[in-house]
Structures are given as structure tokens and as C-alpha cells.
């Protein structure tokens, strides 16, 4: 087995760590930045407070970003960065504003649009990049420490990732207090995204020991704390544990990447509007069973390390957790009606991410999975 591990992001974790943002900006020597955030964070006053405390370093706000950001959102964000002559940006929010900001920062000093890079194959140029500080407000994507941006191109009707070593944030602030206002349904969905990152990195063909030990830790935390964070939104301990799970699962998948459940999540979100984590979770128990016996039952051993009798018991626990939190369990509930729709879902799920699964899965395997989910 050979592997490489790299994670060049400085992480600031803990309650009230957000107060250190001005000091961090100062230490990094940045002069003129734009705050990139979701509208929710603008409306609830958090964005305003951050601007007020930035010692004049944050000169503008950009918040025109929808959940599952589009390439249009990124281009508008790039425009704001260029117009403000920004030498850095702060992303504040869940995966959507963080991914939008990350892609925008990667091309800010150039003169092209993001589509050229996202699906057009143009490489990121280090002379066009400005640095970004990520402040996560959901416990979910881990985007604050990855070099990945997931974007939807509405013209091409495709949701796909772009990544480059130049796209890592410079620093990540994870302050659990910022997640207290996350509504239960978003807590459930983003928490299941954490679980998907932890598990898919284990059954990715690129799995490796450092990441796998992070997966064990994150998986145990999710099963211990997610339901509590969902049912008691103001429970700071549960929020802190889920924030820890999120960042540790981010480390877990940062190098092995994700696999089949994320591959399936993209069309489930794009075509049926299922939120990202909920969409990943829809197939997570299925992939756990698919992969259970691979590589001499490595996943069974992983499941035992996490406190389950085997991978099948882990799969059952995933189903129970989804059900308890009111997540979609069938395709019918999200509006999939015809066999043509199942064909389309299957076709759109067979992306390179699917090829990362340690068990090779065919078109028919995935189609049969979808049929069994009706």
C-alpha cells in the first residue's frame, strides 16, 4: 500500500474562535477583503458583526448565493472581488458559500469566467488566485479544509466538483456557537453528509490509514451526537461534537475523496431538489452493504472499531438514524415516478466518483438499487 497525505490549512477550532478572525487577518497580512456569505447569515446579523469587528479590512459583502451554488453565482462573486480590488476573501456559511467563494478566489485576479475551469479543463493559474479564510456555520461539508468546490452549471445541467492544490483555504475557523441557529432539518442533512464523508473515504480506492482513523472517530461522534444536535438545537455540547465530527471527517475524505453515495447525490439534488447531505444519505446504507465484504471484510472491521457488530449492523443503524430524523427513505417521496426517471438517475450517477468504490459497481447494480428504493 502506498499513499500521500497533505493538508495545508490551519484550523482554529472552538467556541468563540470567530473572535480571533481580525487577529488572523492581521497575521496573514491581508489588506482588503470581501465577506462572502449566505443570505441567512446576512439577515441574522452575524455577517454585520464580523464586518464591524474586521478593523476595516472587510470592505464589502457578497451574498447572492443559492444552496448548491451555480457557476453564475461564482461569476457574480468574482465580479465583486475584482471590482473591490480584493486581496483576500472570508467565506461565512455552509458548503454553498464556502464553495462559491473558493472557486471565485481561485480565478479572482484573472479575466475569465469559472465555466472555463469548472468543466472547460482550464488549469488554475497561481497568479490569478487570492487567499481565502473559511468560517463554517454548518457541521457538514468540511469544505473549510478541502480544496474542492462543488458547482452546478445550469446551462449544462451538471453538478460536479472542481479541485486544485491551489484551492485550499489558508485558514479555517470552526466555532460551534455559529451552528446553534441551524434548523433541525439542516442539522440532520449536514450531519449525514459528515457520515457520508467518513464512510466513503473508507471504501474509496484511495483509502489510507491516517484518513481511516479519522473516519472511525467521526463515525462514532455522529452516532453519539447527531440526533442530540437535531432534537436539542441549543445543546452546545452536541453542536461542538458535531463540529468536531465534521472537521475530522473533512480530514478523512480530503485525500481519498468521496465515492458512490456522493455520485448518486448529485442527480438526486439537481433533479429532485434533495438537500446535499440528505441526498448522500439516501444511498449510504446501500453502499455500506455493497462494500461490506470487500478486501477481506475490511469494512466489517471498521464497523466493529466504531462499535457495531459488522457492516450490516452499521447499515441498519444508518437507516434507523435517517428515519428518526425524517429524512427521505424512498424515491417516491422525492417525486421519482417513472422507470425513465430511474434510467436518467442511473445514467447521471455513473460518474468518475462511482469508480472510486472498492467494489466495482455496474450500471445494472445502481439501477437495481434505485428500483429497490422505489
Ligand X SMILES: NC(=O)c1ccc[n+]([C@@H]2O[C@H](COP(=O)([O-])OP(=O)(O)OC[C@H]3O[C@@H](n4cnc5c(N)ncnc54)[C@H](O)[C@@H]3O)[C@@H](O)[C@H]2O)c1
Q: Which is nearer to Fe ion, 109 or 118 (CB)?
A: 118
Nearest Cα to 266, choosing from 155, 143, 348? 348
Residue 68 interacts, among Fe ion, ligand X, none and using kind-specific CB cut-offs from 5 to 8 Å, with ligand X
d(CA 142, CA 222): 14
**Contact between 73 and ligand X per CB under 6 A:** no
Q: Which DSSP string do the residues of 203-265 spell out, in sequence order?
A: SBTT--HHHHHHHHHHHHHHHHHHHHHHH-TT-HHHHHHHHHHHHHHHHHHHTT---HHHHHH
Q: For residue 155, give the C-alpha cell.
A: 446551462
Q: What are φ and ψ of residue 166, in 5° steps?
A: -80, -5
Nearest Cα to 275, choosing from 5, 127, 67? 67
Least distance (Å) between residue 216 CB and Fe ion: 19
**Contact between 215 and ligand X per CB under 6 A:** no
SS3 call for 60: strand
Least distance (Å) between residue 126 CB and Fe ion: 27
Residue choice 72, 99, 153, 285 for contact with ligand X (CB under 6 A): 99
Which part of the chain contacts ligand X (CB under 6 A), choosing from 21-29, 92-100, 104-112, 314-322? 92-100
Q: Which residues 6+ apart lie within 8 Å of 45 measured at CB?
A: none
Q: For residue 276, give the C-alpha cell.
A: 446535499
Least distance (Å) between residue 261 CB and Fe ion: 9
Cα torsion through 107, 109, 113, 116, rounded to 10: -50
**Contact between 148 and ligand X per CB under 6 A:** yes
Which part of the chain contacts ligand X (CB under 6 A), choosing from 8-16, 74-82, 143-151, 212-220? 143-151
Residue choice 93, 256, 260, 267 for contact with ligand X (CB under 6 A): 93
Residue 138 interacts, among ligand X, Fe ion, none and using kind-specific CB cut-offs from 5 to 8 Å, with ligand X
Q: Which residues 6+ apart lie within 8 Å of 210 measured at CB?
A: 5, 251
**Contact between 191 and ligand X per CB under 6 A:** no
Least distance (Å) between residue 171 CB and ligand X: 16
Residue 142 interacts, among ligand X, Fe ion, none and using kind-specific CB cut-offs from 5 to 8 Å, with ligand X
Q: Which residues bind ligand X (CB under 6 A)?
A: 38, 40, 67-68, 93-96, 99, 137-138, 140-143, 146, 148-150, 178-179, 181-182, 186, 190, 193, 276-277
Amino acid at each position: 500500500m502506498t499513499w500521500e497525505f497533505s493538508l495545508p490549512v490551519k484550523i482554529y477550532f472552538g467556541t468563540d474562535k470567530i473572535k480571533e478572525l481580525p487577529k488572523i487577518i492581521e497575521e496573514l497580512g491581508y489588506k482588503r477583503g470581501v465577506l462572502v456569505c449566505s443570505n441567512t447569515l446576512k439577515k441574522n446579523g452575524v455577517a454585520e458583526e464580523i464586518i464591524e469587528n474586521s478593523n476595516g479590512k472587510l470592505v464589502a459583502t457578497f451574498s447572492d448565493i443559492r444552496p448548491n451554488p451555480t457557476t453564475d453565482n461564482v461569476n457574480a462573486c468574482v465580479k465583486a472581488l475584482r471590482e473591490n480590488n480584493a486581496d483576500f476573501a472570508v467565506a461565512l456559511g455552509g458548503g454553498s458559500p464556502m464553495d462559491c467563494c473558493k472557486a471565485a478566489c481561485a480565478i479572482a485576479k484573472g479575466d475569465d469566467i469559472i465555466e472555463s475551469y469548472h468543466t472547460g479543463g482550464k488549469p488554475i493559474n497561481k497568479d490569478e488566485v487570492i487567499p481565502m479564510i473559511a468560517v463554517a456555520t454548518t457541521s457538514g461539508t468540511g469544505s473549510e479544509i478541502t480544496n474542492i468546490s462543488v458547482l452546478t452549471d445550469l446551462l449544462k445541467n451538471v453538478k460536479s466538483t472542481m479541485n486544485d492544490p491551489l484551492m485550499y483555504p489558508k485558514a479555517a475557523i470552526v466555532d460551534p456557537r455559529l451552528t446553534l441557529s441551524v434548523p433541525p432539518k439542516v442539522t440532520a442533512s449536514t450531519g449525514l453528509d459528515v457520515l457520508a464523508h467518513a464512510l466513503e473515504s473508507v471504501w474509496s480506492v484511495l483509502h489510507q490509514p491516517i484518513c481511516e482513523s479519522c473516519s472511525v472517530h467521526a463515525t462514532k461522534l455522529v452516532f453519539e451526537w447527531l440526533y442530540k444536535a437535531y432534537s436539542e438545537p441549543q445543546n452546545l455540547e452536541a453542536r461542538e461534537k458535531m463540529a468536531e465530527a465534521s472537521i475530522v471527517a473533512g480530514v478523512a475524505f480530503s485525500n481519498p475523496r468521496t465515492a458512490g453515495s456522493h455520485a448518486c447525490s448529485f442527480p438526486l439534488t439537481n433533479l429532485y431538489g434533495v438537500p446535499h447531505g440528505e441526498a448522500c444519505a439516501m444511498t449510504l446504507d446501500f453502499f455500506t452493504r455493497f462494500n461490506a465484504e470487500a478486501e477481506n471484510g475490511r469494512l466489517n472491521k471498521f464497523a466493529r472499531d466504531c462499535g457495531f457488530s459488522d457492516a450490516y449492523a452499521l447499515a441498519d443503524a444508518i437507516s434507523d438514524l435517517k428515519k428518526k430524523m425524517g429524512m427521505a427513505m424512498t424515491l417516491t417521496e422525492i417525486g421519482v415516478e417513472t422507470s425513465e426517471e430511474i434510467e436518467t438517475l442511473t445514467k447521471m450517477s455513473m460518474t468518475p466518483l462511482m469508480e472510486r468504490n472498492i467494489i466495482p459497481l455496474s450500471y445494472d447494480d445502481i439501477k437495481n438499487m434505485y428500483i429497490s428504493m422505489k
